[in-house]
Amino acid sequence: MNREVVAYTECYRIIKQPLGLYKANCYVIIYKDVEGEKAVVIDPGLHAKQVMDMVGKAKVTAILLTHGHCDHVCAVDGVYAMTKAPVYMHASDEELLHAKRRMPSSYKGMFTAPFITISESILDVGGLSFYVYEMPGHSRGSVMFQLEGYLFTGDTLFKDSIGTTKNYNGDEQSLTQTLRRLSFWDPSLIILPGHAEITTLGRELLYNEKLKSYINTSDTGRPS
């Protein structure tokens, strides 16, 4: 199962579980308000029942998507049907929901639930406040979500690796600009990637050779 609590603060806890054939990390943030336990789901890739097992008795207040690739979105319809929680995704990845491509049979479905488009801004959902960064490259609509000191990077940055652009609507030049932005950010940020282990930005800036090859620039690219 490999489900684990990867963060525990006074205000919330973050649960991580890799799901599906590609072991895409689904994250559930559990927090409390006056009405009881609530949850935000990030990247429900496959098996809605397993996602809801992560949620437990909490009420889902939002479903956030770092990008629209099938291994990160195939459980959206199932979770939405059970919760009616609003879904948030960048509009530039809507085309991925309709793209024809080869995939295992379990990934045939693309979600059809309505979604709210997001852009670079502060996103307040269910009492939690995220900063949304537009970080194209792995896909045209890739974003990162920052919750305090935690950065959900989707498939853009991993421990010891970076996202590929060899897929539908990936772009190498955009990925270059995206990764260069990161070199000016707080190295203490905890990276919660779309696959594999968590890490820190500082560690990746020091040891991730693929990332380091992209970051020679004088342009911060970070919003003020």
Query: pLDDT band at residue 174, thresholds of 50, 70 and 90?
Result: very high
* 3-class SS string, the chain: CCCEEEEECCCEEEEEEEECCCCEEEEEEEEEECCEEEEEEECCCCCHHHHHHHHCCCEEEEEECCCCCHHHHCCHHHHHHHHCCCEEECHHHHHHHCCCCCCCHHHCCCCCCCCEECCCEEEEECCEEEEEEECCCCCCCCEEEEECCEEEEECCEECCEECCCCCCCCCHHHHHHHHHHHCCCCCCCEEEECECCCEEHHHHHHHCHHHHCCCCCCCCCCCC
Give 3-26 pLDDT, tens digit per residue: 999 999 999 999 999 999 899 999
Which tens digits make up the pLDDT trace of 188-222?
999 999 999 999 999 999 999 999 998 875 444 44
